[in-house]
Amino acid sequence: MATLLTDASRRLERAAQYVPISDDATERLKFPKASLKVAIPVRMDDGSLRVFEGYRVRYDDTRGPTKGGIRFHPGVSLDEVQSLAFWMTFKCAAVNLPFGGAKGGITLNPKALSRLELERLSRGYINAIAPFIGPDLDVPAPDMYTNPMIMGWMMDQYSIINGRRSPAVITGKPVSMGGSRGRDTATGRGAFFVIQAMMAQLGKSPEAMTVAVQGFGNAGSVVARQLFEAGYKVVAVSDSKGGVYNAGGLHIPDIQQFKQTHHAMKDVYCKDTVCNVASHDTLTNEDILALDVDILIPAALENQITAQNAASVQARYIFEVANGPVTADADEILDKKGVSVFPDILVNAGGVMVSHFEWVQNRSGLYWTLEKVDSELRSRITQEAAVIWQIANSKAVSFRTAAYIHALSRIGEALNDRGTRDYYLQ
C-alpha cells in the first residue's frame, strides 16, 4: 500500500514534466532532509508516568528556514508528518515565502489530558526537539488541536533552554507574547480570498453558489462565515460529531455561537438572546462529501476523498482547506468528472503567510495592525492565485498541477543555483 508521502510525491512527478529543472533537484525533493522521533515522558495528574511519541520533520530548506505546524492527534505518525512537511515545502514556494517545509506532531488524544498535563507535554516536546528548531533553522506553528497558548508555552520553554527570549522561534503565539494579529483566522481568511478570486475568474456570483463545509473547526468555521457574509448560500457544515443540512441555507454566525456554548451543532436562528432550532437534516462527515452543491470545502483531515468515494462527489468545485483531503487516485477520477480541485498548497496558505508576517514582526520588533495583516494577506494570496490560474489555462493542466508547477519552478531554480550534474560536467 502506498504511503502518504508516496501519494504526495506523485503530484511532484506530474509537475516536473512541465518544469525545466535538473534530475538532481527532483531526486533531492523525493526525500526529507531530516526526520526526528522522540519520546516525551509526562507526569500525569494522578502521579503516573506516561511516555508519548513525538515527531519533527524538516523536508527541504533550499529557500530558507523550514516552516510548519505541530499537531496533537491520535493519527499522528512519521509518514503523516513527512507528507505534511512535503506539502509545506511546496506551499511556501507556491506563495513565495522565504521558507522550506516542515511539520511536527505528537500521537495522542489531547481531549483526554488536563490543561496541566498538556502544558507538561508541550514543554517536554520542546525539551526533546530544541536542538532541531530555531528562528533561522525551523519555525513551528499551531496545527490540529494546538492553539496560541500551547505555542506560547513552547516559545517560553525554548527561551528558557537557550537563556534568552526567542519569540521568532514559533509563530501562532498569543498577541501578548509576540503573536501577530489576524493569525488565528488567517487560514480561513486566505481560503475565502482564494475562493472569491477564482469565482470572479469563472464569472460566478456569490448569491448563485451553494456551499458545503466538512470540518467546522478553526479554519472551516472562519471560511464558512466569510462566505455566508459575502452572500454565498452555505447549506451544510459538519464537525467530528456530524453535521447539519438546510437546502435553504444555514445561518452560520448562530451555528458558531451555538457550538461555542453547547459544544454541538444545530441549525439555529437567534433573535436577541432567544435561539430557535430551525428545520434541518443531520448528516455525517461522509454524507457531506456527496451533496449536490457548487462548492465543496473539505476542512477536516487528509484523505477524505479517495478512489472509493470520489465518484459520488457532485460538487463542481472543491477548495482544499484541509491538508491533503483529496488523494492522487481521487484526483484522476474527479478530473474525468470535470470537477475543478483547487489545491491545499494555495487555498490554505493563509496560515503560513501570516505566520511569515509574525516571524518578520518578531525579528524587526515592529508590529502590524490587523488591517495591515489582512491587506497584505489578500494582496499576496490573490496575486499567487492569479498566476496559478494562468498556468492552468495556458498549459491545460489541473489547478493542482499548476500550483505544483509554480512552486517547483521556484524550488528548482534555487536547487539548480547550488550546482547540478550538468554544471559540474561542463
Taking alpha carbons only, the member of 90, 69, 85, 82 closest to residue 16 is: 90
Answer yes or no: 103 catalytic: yes
List the grid coordinates of 307. Answer: 478512489
Any idea which fold 32-177 has?
Answer: Rossmann fold (3.40.50)
Q: How far apart are CA 161 and CA 238, in angstroms?
A: 41
pTM of the full predicted structure?
Answer: 0.90
Q: Which helix (H) or strand (E) holds 85?
A: helix 78-94
187 is in an annotated binding site: yes
* Total Cβ atoms within 10 A of residue 93: 28
Q: How far apart are CA 21 and CA 33, in angstroms?
A: 19
Using one digit for the tens of pLDDT, what is the confidence trace for 307-320? 999 999 999 999 99
210 is in an annotated binding site: no
Residues 6+ apart with CB under 8 A from 375: none
Catalytic residue among 30, 33, 37, 103: 103
State residue 93 phi and psi, 5-degree precision: -70, -35
327 is in an annotated binding site: no
Q: Residues of CATH 3.40.50.720 domain(s) within the chain?
A: 186-347
330, amino acid identity: A
Segments of 329-418 assigned E as strands: 340-342
89 is in an annotated binding site: no
Q: Residues of CATH 3.40.50.10860 domain(s) within the chain?
A: 32-177
State residue 83 phi and psi, 5-degree precision: -65, -45
How does DSSP classify residue 316? S
Using one digit for the tens of pLDDT, what is the confidence trace for 23-75? 777 778 888 999 999 999 999 999 999 999 999 999 999 999 999 999 999 99
For residue 273, the model assigns a pLDDT of 57
Please give the order of strands across the beta sheet that includes 138-142.
Answer: 34-43, 49-60, 100-107, 66-73, 138-142
List the grid coordinates of 2. Answer: 502506498
List the grid coordinates of 404. Answer: 505544483
Please state which of the four CATH numbers 3.40.50.10420, 3.40.50.720, 3.30.420.40, 3.40.50.300 is assigned to the domain occupying 186-347. 3.40.50.720
Q: How far apart are CA 82 and CA 57, in angstroms?
A: 6
For residue 422, the model assigns a pLDDT of 72
394 is in an annotated binding site: no
List the grid coordinates of 268. Answer: 439555529
Taking alpha carbons only, the member of 301, 295, 325, 299 closest to residue 230 is: 295
Contact of 347 with 321, CB cutoff 8 Å? yes
Q: Cβ-count burial of 275 within 10 angstroms (0-12 exposed, 13-18 middle, 19+ buried)? A: middle
For the chain (426 residues), the mean pLDDT of every run of 10, in chain order, is: 63 82 79 96 98 97 96 93 91 96 97 97 98 97 93 98 96 96 94 97 94 92 96 91 88 85 70 63 85 95 90 96 91 94 95 97 96 97 97 94 93 81 72
* Total Cβ atoms within 10 A of residue 33: 17
For residue 25, the model assigns a pLDDT of 79
